[in-house]
Amino acid sequence: MRVAGVALAFAAASAGAQAPSAASLPSYRLRVLGVFDSQSGSPIEGVEVTDAFSHTVAVTTKTGTVSLAFLPEGGSMLRIQKIGFKPVTQVVVISPADTVAITVLMEAAAQSLPAVVTKDSATTFLSPGMRAFEERRKAGFGRFITEAELRKNENRSLTNIVRQTGTGVSCTRRTPIRCFAVNTRVGGSGCSLDVYYDGTLVNDDFRDLEQIRTDQIGAVEIYASTATVPAEYNKTGKGCGVMLLWSRFR
């Protein structure tokens, strides 16, 4: 792996990534993210950097960098993707205490050319996460919401869709209302489920079902019993259960 030169290249690129049009923002709001090839260390141009919640998209320049000035105060979850590379999901914090430039290394995706069978004009692509979703759904453990179901209910909040599966949902009484999936069998008011977004464990700021857009989700898995939680998603060991959210590929 030839990434020894990434740090120097990124430092130089970051210095030029402070767009004059963003001069009115405090400096910490201009945090920079750089995307590089994990094998060559070269910057990757044209990578889509998407705020998973607002769906705002920015694209990296020839230097592989992009300003994160479009993210809200406090930060968000980013979906980083480009054809030919494995997508990356990463939580980014935007605050006065978090100003260091962020480096993301993307791995080239293996190109396989299976036999082509044409049935209709739609192209079906299953990411590794969605393939695992289908395997677990066939096994029958847990509760599953497919993309077809989510597409039929895009005008509804994820809170209502999750509640409809029989999963407990606890909402705050203050405005704005925040709602979280819970295991009602543990504790009086329920124990909050751990939430993974595209395989990444997220904190409270990104577990709020009211803030997650239904039209951005391709599938949902809910395991209210710790006995059924897939081993790779039982990292915290708190025993409440797990909800897995998978991004939708259009």
- What are the tens digits of pLDDT across the range 109-158? 876 555 565 555 554 556 777 888 998 988 888 999 999 999 999 999 99
pTM of the model: 0.57
pLDDT at site 14: 47
Give the sign of the dihedral formed by CA 155, CA 159, CA 160, CA 163.
Answer: positive
Cβ atoms of 92 and 71 closer than 8 Å? yes
Tell the CATH superfamily of the 6-106 domain: Carboxypeptidase-like, regulatory domain (2.60.40.1120)
CB burial of residue 192 (10 Å; 0-12, 13-18, 19+): buried
Q: What is the pLDDT of residues 67-122, one digit of tens each?
A: 999 999 988 889 999 999 999 998 999 999 998 999 999 999 876 555 565 555 55
Boundaries of every domain in the chain: 6-106, 128-247
How far is residue 120 CA from its own chain's centroid? 30
Among 3.40.605.10, 1.10.3720.10, 2.170.130.10, 2.60.40.10, name the CATH number for the domain at 128-247: 2.170.130.10
